[in-house]
Structure 1
Amino acid sequence: MSRRPLVSVIVPSYNRVKYIEQTVDSAFSQSYSSIEIIIVDDGSTDGSFELLRRLEDSGRIKLLTHPSHENKGQSKSINLGLLHSSGEYISILDSDDFFAPHKIEQQVAFLEQSPDVGMVYGQGHAVDADGRFLFKVPDDNHAETSDPNILLLDCYMALPGGSLIRRSVFEKVGMFEESFRAGQDHDMALRIMEEFKVAFLPEVAFFYRKHGESISANGLETRWRTGMEILERARKRYPYRNRTIRKRKAVINYRLGQVYWKCGQKRRSIGYLIASGFLDPIRAGKVLLGSKS
């Protein structure tokens, strides 16, 4: 490429001392050199903040934190990084994930040649805590339709590290929703696709960790209740098909039913499971027959 636009890599970081250096290295060693790396520490207490300060002293990163080093959540951390970034393109990377070596170069080249596309994303490879391959998201046969209805039903993108987004997109759709402590990536992807064409570049873009640290029951409840709020906001913003709204409600009710069942709240669980069955009886039948989880 004759033009080398600046890319801002924004990393929200919280208590990832074991992984954060590899994350930074994967951005710093990209085959594309016109990059600024902005790390927003979200009140870490495990020594990762001190490690990041040393990386800042070496000139490798720009380090930001919230007032009084408070924990404010991932969305607020990403937004702080966005406000202090200068790049024409934005890439967001979780603090325990890492880029493929040519990710930025390939995606910048694609967007430079595709002015009608607001966001491009690639394939993510899930890895375990030691970096061993687990599975791919999306799979090798994936094709992007840029239809928000499909994305609302199933967040099939490996986000956020797999994508590259034009700064002008954020200027149109706004920042990450700071009231969400889960699902903010799905919410943002929907808002982008409602306004812009989105494309899939079939190259490995990044690697994301699947930890042994399981999400608590409270965390899962928060995730799916937030999912219902994301759905309601999406319905008010964009003319989604009624069938899409109904099927997504069915999935969320089913997942909440699962959460409450595992917590021993059987009566509460059954109410959500029945609601899910009424909203999408075909899917409910498949679940009962064991062909769908």
Structure 2
Amino acid sequence: MAPELSSNWKKLQSVLKKENSVKADKKRKAPTEQTRNSIAKRRRLLGDLFEPASTKALGVKRRKMGNGSSSGEAAAQAAPSATLALWAEDNDISARDLADAYGEDFKNTTVPTKREDKVNGGLSEDVEIGKYVGLDCEMVGVGGEQDRSVLARISIVNFHGTQVYDSFVRPKEFVTDWRTHVSGVSPKNMATAREFDDVQQEVAKILKGRVIVGHALKNDLDALMLGHSKRDIRDTSKFPGFKQYSTGKYPKLKTLAKEILGVEIQGGEHSSIEDARAAMLLFRRHKSAFDIDHAQRFPVKVQGSGGGKSNPKKKKKKGKH
């Protein structure tokens, strides 16, 4: 017969049983807590991978909770190209929202419905030209020390920024400075370039009877050796509303595009088609003001209603018979 346990021993067993039960519970809970910590850690480490593409594309830094300093604000954002800005405006969409939707950098965002540009494509087929055309030219240097500018590329777009004409032009004189870092034109482009006389003739047909929009258009028309009625020119370099952005006689197109449109152009080699679009977008954005300025400079002459005094007609002298 087993000896009977003392009351003290029974109490000790009861205490040990409770402690073992608590330890067992802790052992069961420990893996669960560890798993939760592990999951949270993985989320923190992989957070950037699951960050929305829009914030990456826009260069936006996520603000930390409780931090109201400027370091927590959105970082500087890249500016959209003139092409993207024009398409977005035509479709009543913010250029930034458009880039956000495609999750790409502003400059590289491609719009599926946009007609692709054809560099050196000549006259575009099936494009409605309309009343207004944006024009821009790229020049190269000739004449050695004289360094005269001659035409090497020309681009024309319509009111909506669609490419109407684009061509490299073969200069008649020997080129002494290609200015590639600015003009974007190099000797290799001359292999498929068109002759100056042919380009001049084609461009003259496009410009005839239309309003030209551009920046410092006198330089472009001089390079083309073409004239155009001042009444049918809208020059963004001479528009009074843009004078405040000038540090000299005339504001730069790059400055106007950045300050007024938030558009970045001429970051390196110039693109005549992008510059033509930037000028057209500036004109469109302030068309009402352009129209008022134009009406003041070229008032329409209205003939009198006939209430004024008329000069008496001189009587004809009768000839001698």
Q: TM-score, normalised by structure 1?
A: 0.23
**Structure with higher RCO (Cα < 8 A, 6+ apart):** 1
